[in-house]
């Protein structure tokens, strides 16, 4: 009888470990930094970065999200490096939620090199759908990871800074950063946490 109880105890412990690991994969973590653009909140899980918000009044972390600077450190470090002008490409995994078509558009936008711009028409050609310019504008406006998926690099055919969720001023600042004419992090530290 003791052997059966120990076996059940071991199996129960293993089951609890598996359940704990499964749920840890579902947890969402966040952290915030202060920048010249405003307060930026990053949200990620074990699949990658899910969301980035800038000065979003009324947007608060969900009760189920955990403030976890340790987990968020790689995301925050790379964002700070970018805002200092020293990082040209992000290497952490991205996990934005959207339709397959939106994902395709965001992937094409993410491929626009640092310091360069593209047009709606060019992105449409890049995804193989020359009639998709309007849909690209819509996907751009619901991009859950602005800056990282650089919608600020997508300009209209007249090279105007319009259609960016956070406004033309932020586009100007981000493009100035990428041309070497701005630093967008408050009080740059010697060591990036």
85: left (phi over 0), alpha (psi -120 to 50) or beta: left
- Whether residue 7 is contained in a domain is answered as no
Confidence band for 15, pLDDT divided at 50, 70 and 90: very low
- Whether residue 97 is contained in a domain is answered as yes
Least confident of 17-21, 50-54, 94-98, 146-150: 17-21
- Whether residue 11 is contained in a domain is answered as no
Confidence band for 189, pLDDT divided at 50, 70 and 90: low
- Whether residue 188 is contained in a domain is answered as yes
In the structure encoding, which two tokens stand for residue 130, read together? Answer: 């020359």
Has 151 been annotated as catalytic? yes
Q: Is the pLDDT of residue 5 over 60?
A: no
Q: Please calculate the CA angle 77-59-70 and round it to the nearest 5 degrees.
A: 30
Please tell me the predicted confidence (pLDDT) of residue 166.
86
Mean pLDDT within 10-36: 63
CATH value at residue 68:
1.10.10.10
What is the tally of structural domains in the chain? 1
Instruction: Decide: pTM greater than 0.85.
Output: no
Confidence band for 60, pLDDT divided at 50, 70 and 90: confident
Set 139, 149, 151, 184: catalytic member:
151
Q: SS3 of 31, please?
A: strand
Q: Strand locations in 36-155, DSSP E?
A: 38-45, 48-54, 66-67, 118-119, 154-155
Confidence band for 167, pLDDT divided at 50, 70 and 90: confident
- Whether residue 9 is contained in a domain is answered as no
Mean pLDDT within 41-47: 97
- Whether residue 96 is contained in a domain is answered as yes
- Whether residue 13 is contained in a domain is answered as no
Q: Is the pLDDT of residue 25 over 60?
A: no
Nearest alpha carbon to residue 110 among 76, 145, 157: 145
- In terms of pLDDT, which residue wins out, 59 or 167? 167
Nearest alpha carbon to residue 147 among 82, 74, 103: 82
Confidence band for 99, pLDDT divided at 50, 70 and 90: very high
- Whether residue 22 is contained in a domain is answered as no
Please tell me the predicted confidence (pLDDT) of residue 163.
65
Q: Which domain holds residue 123?
A: 28-193
């Amino acid at each position: 009888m003791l052997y059966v109880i120990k076996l059940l105890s071991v199996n129960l412990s293993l089951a609890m470990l598996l359940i704990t690991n499964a749920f840890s994969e579902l947890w969402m973590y966040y952290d915030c930094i202060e920048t010249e653009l405003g307060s930026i909140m990053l949200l990620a899980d074990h699949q990658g970065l899910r969301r980035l918000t800038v000065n979003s009044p009324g947007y608060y972390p969900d009760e189920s999200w955990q403030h976890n600077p340790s987990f968020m450190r790689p995301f925050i470090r790379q964002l700070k490096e970018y805002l200092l002008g020293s990082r040209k490409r992000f290497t952490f995994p991205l996990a934005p939620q959207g339709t397959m078509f939106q994902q395709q558009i965001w992937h094409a936008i993410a491929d626009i090199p640092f310091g360069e711009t593209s047009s709606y028409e060019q992105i449409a050609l890049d995804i193989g759908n020359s009639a998709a310019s309007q849909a690209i504008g819509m996907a751009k406006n619901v991009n859950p990871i602005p800056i990282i998926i650089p919608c600020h690099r997508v300009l209209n055919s007249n090279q105007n800074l319009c259609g960016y969720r956070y406004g033309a001023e932020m586009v100007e600042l981000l493009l100035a950063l990428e041309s070497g004419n701005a630093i967008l992090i408050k009080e740059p530290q010697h060591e990036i946490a």
